[in-house]
Structure 1
């Protein structure tokens, strides 16, 4: 690390070197980036390696069901105004992937780390973060993720008494419940489009009242905190009431909300909102998301949507009907093998769009679209779907591994 008076121990250095060698071998074998397997090997050799690598960094952790990867990128761009940044930019967000990322940042001042929701408490314990951004919690990977209320409880217990500044979305009751155990919380009004996981009070189980943009529990009085930062249209309002314009190349309201939270995080480290927001404009796509690619002489825009909340946000981005839409759903282990979440998505929002369905679980999706009275065609693969699409830019929406499959096919 830069100016490090406490260099890594010989064991830690060996662990880093071995991890990098294994990662390089994995890449050479064509098995992906190698960051996860490299991190696993390094942590086997030195179980305390993550803590050692983080000890001289100002660490920011970012956790949520949706928007982690994008917000991590936006924060990293903003903080580069104040010094070098190391980040797990490709989204390997469990301890092994995080360890690999930090091992590559020997001269960094800041570590900006996306963390899977289930691992947040443990990674926070290991990395002693200066700031933790909590964006949202909703249903995801139903076969293995804890119910959202339990995840909020895990966050609440794991972050209780944390020395970190918690930057939290005051519009999500589950996030507020989780963050409220911390002594130093900065509340951001970032909005909450998907509300189906927040109708019962996480504190007492009572029914949540939602007048306008406000919310409160009629039983115990748990209520929305007053924000100090807020997303207002195309501007971020800072704690002094100043409005700063958001100029992003990333589309949609959800990314403006991510920018608002990112500006609040940057301010914790002394980067002013104007500087932070200007730097965020550099981000054009995040791990291929939002990219427009040429394939078979057509323009395809690649959109990732992994769960009901993500699909709801994504539908708001697509070109108006009759733009053709290709939907691809897999149910491999990285996606979660339970596809019952498809029934929580409002596919009537696609009415008027020609729809083409591909992916491992295309028949599950076809049944869901049939019930939603949508007109669609089931195709064998992307090539066939593109050939059948009418003119115009094609919107391609896919869940996690389906998105990776698409990127490989289009050479992105």
Structure 2
């Protein structure tokens, strides 16, 4: 499959060359990686370029509200056991960014691609993936993202009859409903901490029953499928019942769940669980997430949390009280400008931590913390917050653009 057995047309080659030139100019001007603008230019010159670039690759698509960047990295590491991989590892996950990434991988065997939830159906149509991983769906970017049930419907329609093997989280009813239109699904019990977007049945609107880890609709009979892969503590259970230990440098239950789904994807391509999981250990940080950095003679751990489900998982992996916590929230275009989601986050989980609040929307967050009876201080910026923190490692939790601001400030 690999290599250039089916060379690009002259038009496609021109589009790739022009896209790379524009991306290089954007980088030289200090405007980021240039992958998005480069991809836009390339697609303008050849609207079918994404499909042409994907035709010689075994493509894996990864989509979810939370965890897709990390899972994409884990799958890419695992599949390198079977051949060269091209991936949009920096998270540019809309068609332009994906096109840019694939343009750089002409000798690759596998394309491991993170896809924004809203674009999954279109990218799947263009790239003819061998496998699609669906991890979760929850509320995010409330001002411009479709309501979760609509996103699930979009997936369900877009994937109906797909030839791809769908690797799907059987613990998320929205994901199960979306994947159920596909003829070839591998179910993974990856867990679901955040349940507040799946209390009504996506199939009929009835009330979902949730005894223990199970779920079903009492009205139409829609229910949790039986998994063939499962996360069980610190192990992945494969379809034969063998338990494989998960050793990650990435923290928390959510990343073990990501590893379980990644092992199931790798097995689709013939990479055994032991090999896949050993390779995943190489991943230390993902685009700065989970990095521990030195700043003003302090250790700061940088954690990204973009929506209520993400904040819930992040609270479960911070150091216990009295570890100081800095929270930073913006509401710029890439974050979504509606901050009402802050009221869906259970900030009582931070009780006992000294809390310091920064970011464009620090006052929105301050009101929310006040109502949650948390003790906090509002600070002007990261420098002031760090100076006010008591001793010990500092946990810094930020949403998307706030996280990028932090990385620039600490030189990461």
The TM tier, using the shorter chain, reads over 0.9
Q: 1:163, 1:2 → 2: CA distance?
A: 20
Q: 1:179, 1:48 → 2: CA distance?
A: 26
Q: 1:211, 1:5 → 2: CA distance?
A: 53
- CA apart distance, 1:74: 0.1
- CA apart distance, 1:210: 0.3
**Contact 2:76 2:87 (8 Å CA) reproduced:** yes
Q: Quote the residue 1:89 is aligned against.
A: 89
**Contact 2:326 2:355 (8 Å CA) reproduced:** yes
CA deviations on 1:302-327 (whole Å, 9 max, x unpaired) are 00000000000000010000000000
**Contact 2:3 2:108 (8 Å CA) reproduced:** no
Q: 2:146, 2:2 → 1: CA distance?
A: 39
Task: Say if 2:329 is the partner of 1:332.
Answer: no
- CA apart distance, 1:49: 0.2
CA deviations on 1:247-283 (whole Å, 9 max, x unpaired) are 0000000000000000000000000000000000000
SS at the partner of 2:167? strand
CA deviations on 1:325-351 (whole Å, 9 max, x unpaired) are 000000000000000000000000000
- CA apart distance, 1:143: 0.1
SS at the partner of 1:230? strand
Q: 1:265, 1:228 → 2: CA distance?
A: 12
Q: 1:130, 1:285 → 2: CA distance?
A: 27
SS at the partner of 1:255? helix
- Gaps (5+ residues) in structure 1? none
- CA apart distance, 1:3: 3.9
Q: 2:64, 2:353 → 1: CA distance?
A: 30
CA deviations on 1:61-119 (whole Å, 9 max, x unpaired) are 00000000000000000000000000000000000000000000011000000000000
CA deviations on 1:1-24 (whole Å, 9 max, x unpaired) are 944232000000000000000000
Q: 1:59, 1:235 → 2: CA distance?
A: 27
CA deviations on 1:123-146 (whole Å, 9 max, x unpaired) are 000000000000000000000000
Q: 2:125, 2:176 → 1: CA distance?
A: 20
Q: TM-score, length-normalised on structure 1? A: 1.00
Q: 1:15, 1:379 → 2: CA distance?
A: 47
Q: TM-score, length-normalised on structure 2? A: 1.00
Q: Quote the residue 1:170 is aligned against.
A: 170
Q: 1:79, 1:328 → 2: CA distance?
A: 35
Q: Quote the residue 1:148 is aligned against.
A: 148
Q: 1:324, 1:211 → 2: CA distance?
A: 36
Q: 1:103, 1:267 → 2: CA distance?
A: 26
SS at the partner of 1:13? helix
RMSD of aligned Cα (Å): 0.6
Q: 1:233, 1:316 → 2: CA distance?
A: 15
- CA apart distance, 1:233: 0.3
Q: 1:330, 1:208 → 2: CA distance?
A: 34
Q: 2:403, 2:388 → 1: CA distance?
A: 20
Task: Say if 2:404 is the partner of 1:404.
Answer: yes
- CA apart distance, 1:362: 0.3
Q: 1:384, 1:241 → 2: CA distance?
A: 52
CA deviations on 1:341-370 (whole Å, 9 max, x unpaired) are 000000000000000000000000000000
Q: 2:117, 2:17 → 1: CA distance?
A: 29
Number of residue pairs the alignment of both structures matches: 412
**Contact 2:3 2:106 (8 Å CA) reproduced:** no
**Contact 2:61 2:115 (8 Å CA) reproduced:** yes
Q: Quote the residue 1:24 is aligned against.
A: 24
Q: 1:261, 1:241 → 2: CA distance?
A: 16
Q: 2:407, 2:6 → 1: CA distance?
A: 42
Q: 2:193, 2:76 → 1: CA distance?
A: 25
Q: 1:234, 1:353 → 2: CA distance?
A: 27
Q: Quote the residue 1:356 is aligned against.
A: 356
**Contact 2:72 2:113 (8 Å CA) reproduced:** yes
**Contact 2:86 2:112 (8 Å CA) reproduced:** yes
Q: 1:38 and 1:345, CA in 2 relative to 1: closer, same or farther beyond 3 A?
A: same
Q: 2:61, 2:226 → 1: CA distance?
A: 23
Q: 1:310, 1:373 → 2: CA distance?
A: 21
**Contact 2:2 2:57 (8 Å CA) reproduced:** no
**More displaced 10-residue stretch of structure 1: 1-10 or 95-104:** 1-10
- Gaps (5+ residues) in structure 2? none
CA deviations on 1:284-303 (whole Å, 9 max, x unpaired) are 00000000000000000000
